[in-house]
Amino acid sequence: MPNEPENLENLFDSAPHADRRFDPTQIAHLPEPAQRYLAHAIAPEAPLAAAVRLRMPGTIRLKKRWHPFTAEQVIVRDRGMVWRARVKFAGTTIRGFDCFLDGEGRMRWKLAGVLPVMHAEGPDITRSSAGRFAAESVWLPSVFVSERVSWQAEEPGVAHARFAIDEHDEDVALTLSGGCLQSVALSRWGNPDGGDFRDVEFGAAVDQEATFDGYTIPARIRAGWYFGTDRFESEGKFLHATIDSAVFR
């Protein structure tokens, strides 16, 4: 795989056009929370998109301080995702990307577009990036309308979507109020404290939703490690993001 992922526009255009439309009767066999979520997230007769292109500003925590960023992300159902951002940092800019694409995860970040500040890849990064892709699939809800996804609902108001990504089963817990998404969480492979990689609780609180092209998705989130524990706010939270636009294909 080359050092840089393909152009985001080319990645988005690589997704096939939707050949089916959402029919709520086709999810009648799913657990009730899953039905409520999908019926809320996807309008009847909306094309079942294979990709989404997102634009988002926000703030990100680096070295215990918050910095503004702007980012663009493409998620493709059958290939993965690329998140490319520019972060204002100490009077200059850090540019780079995180990706999980075609079975490989990588991170590349440079100061002022020249000086490398992060270069990470390998099996641990790939497994961690696969977990991120699973969590962020809530920005492409059509991913969950698939025979590859199995649903369970063992507690009221929580739907669990389980699907295989990169040879690992990812169990994504969607906490709902009615059909509205309140949070997304999973046990994700990572090392937020710089130690050994291991399963760590990860997730995002959804503070606001918005509807784009028949899809209702998280539009304002707070995300990070140790989600659902006392450590989230003080140590784990590292991202605030707002979705400005979402285009589906």
The Cα–Cα gap between 20 and 41 comes to 16
Per-residue model confidence (pLDDT) at position 183? 98
Do 243 and 55 meet the contact criterion of CB atoms below 8 Å apart? yes
Residues 85-107 have pLDDT tens digits of: 999 998 999 999 999 999 999 99
Per-residue model confidence (pLDDT) at position 166? 77
Do 242 and 219 meet the contact criterion of CB atoms below 8 Å apart? yes
Task: Please give, one letter per residue, the 3-state secondary structure of 109-120.
Answer: EEECCCEEEEEE
pTM here is 0.96
Q: Is 158 exposed, middle or buried (0-12, 13-18, 19+ CB in 10 A)?
A: middle
- 20-48: average pLDDT: 97
Q: Is residue 38 one of the residues assigned to a domain?
A: yes
Do 243 and 219 meet the contact criterion of CB atoms below 8 Å apart? yes
Q: Is residue 13 one of the residues assigned to a domain?
A: no
- 16-38: average pLDDT: 96
The Cα–Cα gap between 117 and 115 comes to 6
Place of tokens 């990812």: 170
Q: What is the CATH number of the domain that holds 136?
A: 2.50.20
Q: Is residue 22 one of the residues assigned to a domain?
A: no
The residue among 197, 196, 193 whose CA lies nearest residue 226 is 193
Higher pLDDT, 5 or 151: 151
Question: Quick one: DSSP state of residue 149?
Answer: -
Q: Based on the structure, what is the number of domains in the chain?
A: 1
- 60-68: average pLDDT: 95
**Integer distance in angstroms from the first to the last C-alpha of the chain?**
25
Range of the domain at 193: 33-248
In this prediction, residue 3 has a pLDDT band, given cuts at 50, 70 and 90, of: low
The Cα–Cα gap between 2 and 196 comes to 27
Q: Is residue 161 one of the residues assigned to a domain?
A: yes
Q: Is residue 24 one of the residues assigned to a domain?
A: no
Q: Which helix (H) or strand (E) holds 126?
A: helix 123-136
Mean pLDDT of the chain: 95
Q: Is the pLDDT of residue 2 over 60?
A: no
Q: Is residue 40 one of the residues assigned to a domain?
A: yes
Q: Is residue 121 one of the residues assigned to a domain?
A: yes
Residues 218-248 have pLDDT tens digits of: 999 999 999 999 999 999 999 999 999 999 9
Q: Is residue 85 one of the residues assigned to a domain?
A: yes
In this prediction, residue 113 has a pLDDT band, given cuts at 50, 70 and 90, of: confident
The Cα–Cα gap between 40 and 173 comes to 16
